[in-house]
Structure 1
Amino acid sequence: MTSPTHEHTEHHGGQGAPGTELVVDVGPIAHGGHFVARHEGRVIFVRHGIPGEKVRIRLTDSGEASRFWRGDVVEVLEASEDRVRHFWKQADSLAAWKQGGPPVGGAELGHISLPRQRALKAEVLAEQLKRLAGVELWTEIEAVGDTPDGAGLGWRTRASFAVTDKGKLGMHAHRSDVVVPVQEMPLAAAGINELKLWDIELQGIARVEVAAPSNGSRPLVLLAPEEGTTPKRLHSILSQLPQDVSVASFDPAKGEVLQLRGRTWVQESAAGHEYRVTGEGFWQIHRDAPDTLVNAVTGFLHDGGYLEPGAAVADLYAGAGLFTAPLADAVGVTGSVLSVEGAPGTSRDARKNLHGQPQVEIVQGRVERVLHQRSRSFDALLLDPPRAGAGKAVVNQLMASGPRAIAYVSCDPASFARDLGYFQRGGWRLEALRGFDLYPNTHHLETVALLVPAA
């Protein structure tokens, strides 16, 4: 944090050109990790500030024709009492721009105390609910499995990295093609950092994905080779990785995963079940997220009397079966669970994970197509859609299937609030809502909602 030097606008280009520096007052938080500021009537989305601060920003995305501009804080002139020292120099906007470049993305709230982060996330959720669904509701964002030091670090069991043009591990700056080399990932679990991937020569690799399950089972490193990368080059990288780590190559466009050493999947544990998750297959990244979300969902459905032996339920966007298995436990062999997942590889994982559950039917396909083909009714539905949400057509199909309740798990407050609006217009209401801070030091949050017919 620095003290004021001068408060006039500094121009490193034309008026409003990227690189221009302005002094602004930081306003309220907006969805996406930005804070709203204004300069001469124009809205600027500022990252790395705190409401109430006076800061100097560097414009990163601007122009006279732009509806709004974007900028990073480079100097704090009047600091909030909630500002703390950032735990990661390469993600600290003040330190990064002092070194001449942008910070890495992925820890954009690391300069704010954790209690204030959660209050800001609650503001975002409340604002989205009011604006997109007309619902006035304040929901506390609950801390989940915090680290002993209380810093919200070491929770990621999965991490994604880019590679610099010099073959070093890196991460992208926000909304940028710039790849910043990294020597640590403080949000990642020890099992990821202990691999020391930044010491490895990665020339010929475009992307690196790492999964280190919280149960201590064998980690998996996925390498996405650039076009023309030879088997010899891959073998050279393989030889630099610890022997007890599984390694595979993958093609993000085709979804193909090829074994190089060990397994092409990791073994995860949650809610008393074991799950195999292949390659890039979806799994909650916070080490305590799977159990937290399962408990929230089953708690809502149990307490409402919607989840009991003999019930018919469906798990939509089911992934590898995180929710399907505990739902099957609850309904027993006299009940039924329909599990629907669009990704072929993840659906295959679900079949392996649930093969001993005769009451489970697994269908691979788009949710809207599967629902269209089925006329059966359900006691309860669960959906955990991707960030874009379910959308109007799927919401209408869900209501038409006549369930008594729907549990909705969401990682995006805007798409959730939009979908909630569709439910309300269809005669449904929000019965209960919980918010979880599954992504400390980032702007992301997770919600679990219970929806029921208004009548």
Structure 2
Amino acid sequence: MSPAPRRPRPKKVRGSSVVGQRFEAEVGPVAHGGHFVVRHADRVVFVRHALPGERVVVELTEGTEGDRFWRGDAVEVLTASPDRVVAPCPYAGPHLCGGCDFQHVALPGQRSLKAAVVSEQLRRLAGLDVDVEVEPVPGDVDGLGWRTRQRYVPLPGGRRGMRKHRSHEVVPVEKCLLEAPAGPSYEVRGARFEVAEGGFWQVHPGAPEALVSAVLEALDPQPGERALDLYAGVGLFSRFLKDVVGPDGRVCAVEGDAAATRLAKRNVPGLHATAGDVGTVLTTAYDEPFDLVVLDPPRTGAKRKVVEQVVDRRPRAVAYVACDPAALARDVAIFAEHGYVLTRLRAFDLFPMTHHVECVALITPVT
């Protein structure tokens, strides 16, 4: 569904509203967050439903005369990009459902846009030039029908709806085309996982296998090694790391949610697991060398406190699973301060039709 809108920060009024004003403009590059850069009246305007190089009519949706930047929608396309397609969903577009950012873009074009965002964030925040390719997840054909957990806004009369972009307003809908025909499967590589009602699990059915494969390939775990799984959830990565390191190795996990930690211990027999804030736990526990670390933090990233605790364990390899490229880039820069560098990066299109992208980065010490 379209995400619940964030509460806007209290904003100082900076002049008359510009909402509703229209102008013609040429669209610039994609920006992080599912919009595109347009320059108008000495300001940057972040515009949705556009594509780079297009000539469009922009309608402003947020902003006042004194703001540094405005927001808008491309409400008319005067010159279309070759990547533009007719959105498959009747609720996608200006003033409609805010759940999808890129329904107007062909799938290869969506992936190119996401790759450009990841590259730009790494260049701007970590000082790295990285060629990025966003890979489709096996089994994904048309970018639809993948969301195994879906919520609608209930409406009177048994109807349902979804929210507009950055708004509490609700658009009535019959069905979201991203919704999968069946709920999530909690089986990966023949292993069954228990997940709490409403607990975290990847919503794309191909995501768990894709991420497990990428993490194991990056880390190349060996029998007898020690692995630390941070933000471990219900033990997805721990389960397969433990299989490889074997009885002579050790896998330890830290997860903020106590219910998920209890399930991780059931999903991964013999797992050393602790519930608590990752940065706080690492100040007093697991203070020993580890060969391998998996970092799978929330959208805000691991941040300095956790990164510095990780490098203090001197792992030979860190697999960082990131759902936000800006947070990844900021943390990669912190790793670099401590002699660890980005060695390899894979990106996956786990959220087609949206601007979201998942990355698996291999970070290793400078040799």
The two structures have a TM-score, normalised by structure 2, of 0.93
- CA deviations 1:185-226 (Å, max 9, x no partner) are 1111112xxxxxxxxxxxxxxxxxxxx12x4xxxxxxxxxxx
Q: Which residue of 1 aligns with 2:4?
A: none
- Note the residue ranges of structure 1 that are not aligned, 5 or more in a row: 1-13, 94-101, 192-211, 216-267
| Cα drift, residue 166 of structure 1 | 6.1
| Cα drift, residue 15 of structure 1 | 7.1
Q: Which residue of 2 aligns with 1:41?
A: 42
For residue 364 of structure 1, what is the amino acid of its counterpart?
Answer: A
Query: Which one has the largest radius of gyration?
Result: 1
CA distance 1:366–1:15, shift in 2 (3 Å): closer
Larger RCO (alpha carbons 8 Å, 6+ apart): 2
Q: Which residue of 2 aligns with 1:344?
A: 258
Q: Is 1:369 aligned to residue 280 of structure 2? A: yes
Q: How far apart in 1 are the matches of 2:232 and 2:153?
A: 28
Q: Is 1:381 aligned to residue 293 of structure 2? A: yes
- Note the residue ranges of structure 2 that are not aligned, 5 or more in a row: 1-14
Contact 1:109 1:443 in 2 (8 A): yes
Contact 2:238 2:253 in 1 (8 A): yes
Number of aligned residues: 352
Q: Which residue of 2 aligns with 1:124?
A: 117
Q: How far apart in 1 are the matches of 2:302 and 2:178?
A: 29
The two structures have a TM-score, normalised by structure 1, of 0.75
Q: How far apart in 2 are the matches of 1:376 and 1:400?
A: 9
Q: Which residue of 2 aligns with 1:182?
A: 173
Contact 1:164 1:180 in 2 (8 A): no
- CA deviations 1:235-261 (Å, max 9, x no partner) are xxxxxxxxxxxxxxxxxxxxxxxxxxx
Q: Is 1:329 aligned to residue 238 of structure 2? A: no
Contact 1:431 1:451 in 2 (8 A): yes
Q: Is 1:295 aligned to residue 213 of structure 2? A: yes
Shifted more, 419-428 versus 58-67: the winner is: 58-67
For residue 347 of structure 1, what is the amino acid of its counterpart?
Answer: T
Contact 2:139 2:206 in 1 (8 A): no
Q: Which residue of 2 aligns with 1:230?
A: none
For residue 344 of structure 2, what is the amino acid of its counterpart?
Answer: A
| Cα drift, residue 165 of structure 1 | 6.0
| Cα drift, residue 161 of structure 1 | 2.4
For residue 158 of structure 1, what is the amino acid of its counterpart?
Answer: R
> Alignment partner of 1:91: what SS?
coil
For residue 286 of structure 1, what is the amino acid of its counterpart?
Answer: H
Q: Is 1:431 aligned to residue 343 of structure 2? A: yes
Q: How far apart in 1 are the matches of 2:231 and 2:157?
A: 39
Q: How far apart in 2 are the matches of 1:62 and 1:164?
A: 30
Q: Which residue of 2 aligns with 1:22?
A: 23
For residue 348 of structure 2, what is the amino acid of its counterpart?
Answer: F
Q: How far apart in 2 are the matches of 1:373 and 1:167?
A: 52
Q: How far apart in 2 are the matches of 1:67 and 1:279?
A: 43
Q: How far apart in 2 are the matches of 1:371 and 1:26?
A: 46
Q: How far apart in 2 are the matches of 1:75 and 1:151?
A: 25
Q: How far apart in 1 are the matches of 2:345 and 2:180?
A: 29
What RMSD in Å do the two structures reach over aligned CA positions?
A: 1.5
Please show how residues 128-139 of structure 1 align to structure 2 within 5 Å.
128-139=121-132
